[in-house]
Structure 1
């Protein structure tokens, strides 16, 4: 059964992943209203009132108007923060941003429709310590992990391992260094090379190195599972495949049934309808969970393998029911 109404897409202005979903919805003749939260309040007007137990009103740009009561689903794909007048003081901007989040964001959250993903649940799921605990509770195999700002704890952890140790950031760290784009990826580390004062500055995540035959990006859309092997033939790509996309080759694969069940159980416990999971597959064929991204990209996998991930997402947003 299909629901009527408009799919509201909240995404940055340039987002190829969101573009794929919108193109599929357009092909199905499903109404779409795309906007970035950055357009509020300067280029996006909001007016809504409560009548009985429902909110009625509009979101309007200079070109289009959305009836908020018509929203059937929301695709929440990394929108950017509200933009305010340049002359606004830092104090006023801070208050205005909080009010925008609670007012504009609160209204959207109050709409009785499905989200992919629900922003609050997605924000919680971004916490790596929570992911790892829930993954283990869900029956997935998780590498030994340390979170610390103590160099002594790092040395003790490294001594307890039977092999190498890696460091990885808690989030995607990107920036500009010397006019060049730079990023921090997973790396092999020797505790003897770490400065105690650097470790002490913040929380760091260290894990045992898991020997790998290849990695897998497993994308789950509710109960649909799409898995692809990622093979990398470069030294950096072997440590973190995100560091060298040019070295990749892909192959569709079928996850073991315990992994499939663990993934679906994990999504249920996190309250997510979608997740982009990363696994290492050891030379012995064991699947080891690394992380899940509640709004991760999928286009590169679909383009390389033909897996119908976009269609599954569109099904969910359109309201198509499937077994």
Structure 2
């Protein structure tokens, strides 16, 4: 059975509502929740981007059983990996073992704010591998001194650790990142149902480990309204693929890149309306590719409560059959 999660989409939602949405997701019966960790929204229309770690602390206190995960945090620039390790360990304590640290190599959109430029992809992968190694060492609870190509750590130690080590997930989109995930991570994160990346991860040593994906949808009783909303808020995702998206520096650039994207282009990959079968079909593609967890993104901050009602009554029962 595929575990079905809920995405706390910080780029479209105010901080206090994110906490309320997490409580509603737990009540509705979702198996887990993930949160995006951004400095900017993808598009100006989305309108929000609160600090994910403050929200996570509040969510940990407002929920009781819901597993939580960052989807995903970049530990290579905006945050030093030693600081990420401390934040994640504290979340492990506050959530009483319900937290997983999802990590990724990041996007220019969120990392350029510190004024250090945006490294090329090969450099980012080397930085990322170092960062994950530092985080794992600090999770041991021992003193860590590290002198790497990109990062130095001087006699650091985490004093507040959960009873069990915080699991680490690593996002991948190709062979190199899949190998990094297999070597360093407890689980794999892949946005789309990409069986080739799953196979590369498993062949490199990740066999048997959980695999997380994410599916955007736009629930609405009015299918046309859902399609228009999905286009207004989600057209950035059809703007040219991850190699392009990782390089764009701001919402205005995503707006320009998505200027020719039509509502029907978005609707091809985003189920729009109230058809349960469309969502089941989309989630089945993840299941067939070997995914164990799929987090759903409901597009539109003002449509969350209707989505929860529909999910509890119709969607989740149908997805439990996968």
TM-score (norm 2): 0.34
TM-score (norm 1): 0.33
Q: Which has the higher helix share?
A: 2
Q: Which has the higher strand share?
A: 1
